[in-house]
Amino acid sequence: MSDVITRLKAAAGDKGFSEDPAEIAPHLQEWRSKYEGRSALLLKPATTQQVSAILAVAFETGTAIVPQGGNTGLVGGQIPFHGEVLLSLQRMNKVRTVDAEGMVLTAEAGVTLQAAQEAAAAKNLLFPLTLASEGSCTIGGNIATNAGGNHVLRYGMMRALVLGLEVVLADGRVLPMLRSLHKDNSGYDLKQIFIGSEGTLGVITVASLKLFARPAETAVALPL
């Protein structure tokens, strides 16, 4: 097992891992303290290539991996209950582009929902997903759980807001599905099987997201 750990740490890069119990501890507990796990190794890749290398080693050696975004989920899907290696995407936190004309935002999986909202707002556009945990939940986690949020009746679930994905499969292969077309009828829509899959089919690393025009006015309905 020590050889496997050494290979996983090498795949994650010099700053891409931790065995410090104090650093790992916040990743092991759901915020209500309802679920608590255990893990001796936290991997913190910063690129898709590092995620690919990590999963390739895990696949070859039969090592269990639990991917984690912002650790805001309430059902324990992000918790390593049986000592699995923990894979955090929080270092992949760059908003790559905001295409104001095409109304598309491309972000890495570790970008917080709030950061994506603010990047869109800076271009006078709207990314409509809104959650109570938006300051800490991540785009990758929102996609992996098919988040709904407060504006779901107007703008739809997260799957309606995703135009394209980059996903790393369990064996380390990268699926380059990072399209940004609002209308795309070119065959199978493979990205959809990863939305809501909670990391069981692959690890989402980058996403192209649909933006909207910002409403000129907003109103709050008050109870009568």
pLDDT for 189-212, tens place per residue?
999 999 999 999 999 999 999 999
Q: How confident is the model at residue 31 (pLDDT cuts 50, 70, 90)?
A: confident
Closest CA to 60 of 156, 171, 140, 174: 171
Alpha helix stretches (DSSP H) within the chain? 2-12, 21-24, 48-61, 113-121, 139-144, 152-155
Q: Residue 39 contacts by C-beta under 8 Å, 6 or more apart in sequence?
A: 24, 27, 28, 66, 80, 83, 84, 85, 86
Question: What is the pTM assigned to this prediction?
Answer: 0.93
Assign 221 a pLDDT band (cuts: 50, 70, 90). Answer: low
Q: What is the mean pLDDT of residues 86-94?
A: 98
Please give the structure tokens belonging to residue 51.
Answer: 């995620």
Q: Is the pLDDT of residue 215 over 90?
A: no
Decide the pairing of beta strands 17-18 and 42-43: antiparallel
Average pLDDT over residues 158-180: 97
Q: Give percent of the chain above pLDDT 90.
A: 89
Backbone φ and ψ of 88, nearest 5°? -95, 135
* SS3 category, 114: helix
- Burial grade of 85 (CB within 10 A; 0-12, 13-18, 19 or more): buried
